[in-house]
Structure 1
Amino acid sequence: MSIKELLFSFQGRIGRKTYWIWNVIYYCLIVGFAQGMNVLFPALAHLILPVFLLVILIPDLAITAKRWHDRNKTSWWLLLNVPLVIGRMTMPIAADPSQAAQPSTLQVISSLTAVICGVWILVECGFLKGTDGDNQFGPEPE
């Protein structure tokens, strides 16, 4: 599978190793970019980071879809990512954590929903073995 297919195609299957490598890169990119923006453009970081997150959202969804396919599940399972995406897009960026406001009840509920969905995705895609042999989404990944 080419890099282009891996990052932008919602077809096929990938194994846990590829999924984990992507996630390490993905979260390093987010942390590195956020820290860089807070240093270089502290007044604009809260505007620039959501744009960056949208740019890397498609590759993340494409890779996660392939992992769901390896578990013999449709791409509809990507809907579990919605609370995570909303949480990332609405996360306040405070240079000084002591300045952070108390979260509202809605923020607490959405955060809890995101954690539950995130744990579900982590277990299904990160830890559970894919389907042995071919399935409706393609051949077993190597």
Structure 2
Amino acid sequence: MNWFLVALKKYATFSGRAQRAEYWYFVLFYLIIFVVLSIIDGLTGSFSADAGLGLLGGLLTLALFIPSLAVTVRRLHDTGRSGWWLLIAFVPLVGAIVLLVFTVQDSAAGDNAYGPNPKGSAA
């Protein structure tokens, strides 16, 4: 939960680097909260089948849109890639797979153009 809060504290910080733990714990807690809110949406009747999203799930998605972009860009920076690589997600299927591979990779060793290694020492 601490990593999720760290990512939220850097709400719109697109510079710097985010190690794997920060990114993946953010994704994990985002999904857990989204599933819980989707269940509540289903139980309360605020789920819209046309939109495929409920009221609470939609509010969460809207509230965490910028932090999720920021932590993903920082994760790409940690692997030595520009944040513009995030746009590859618009390529159907292949883009999501490439982005998954990029976010799973270990940090680039030492300092890079985006800042010092968040792990503290060279990987």
Structure 2 alignment gaps of length 5 or more: 1-5
Match of 1:118 in 2: 96
Partner of 1:55: 63
Query: Is the counterpart of residue 15 in structure 1 residue 19 in structure 2?
Result: yes
- Give the greater-gyration-radius structure (CA): 1
Instruction: State the structure with bigger RCO (CA 8 A, min sep 6), 1 or 2.
Output: 1
Report the Cα distance in structure 1 between the residues aligned to 2:77 and 2:47, rounded to whole angstroms: 41
Give structure 1 stretches of 5+ with no counterpart.
Answer: 84-112
1:43–1:75 distance in 2 versus 1, CA, 3 Å: closer
Hey, which of these two has a bigger chunk of helix by percent?
1
| CA deviation map 1:71-111 (0-9, x unaligned) | 1111111213447xxxxxxxxxxxxxxxxxxxxxxxxxxxx
Once the two structures are TM-superposed, the CA of residue 44 in structure 1 deviates from its matched residue by 4.9
TM-score norm. by structure 2 comes to 0.75
Normalised by the length of structure 1, the TM-score is 0.66
Partner of 1:4: 9
% identity of equivalent residues: 28
Number of residue pairs aligned between Structure 1 and Structure 2 = 109
RMSD between superposed Cα atoms in Å:
2.1
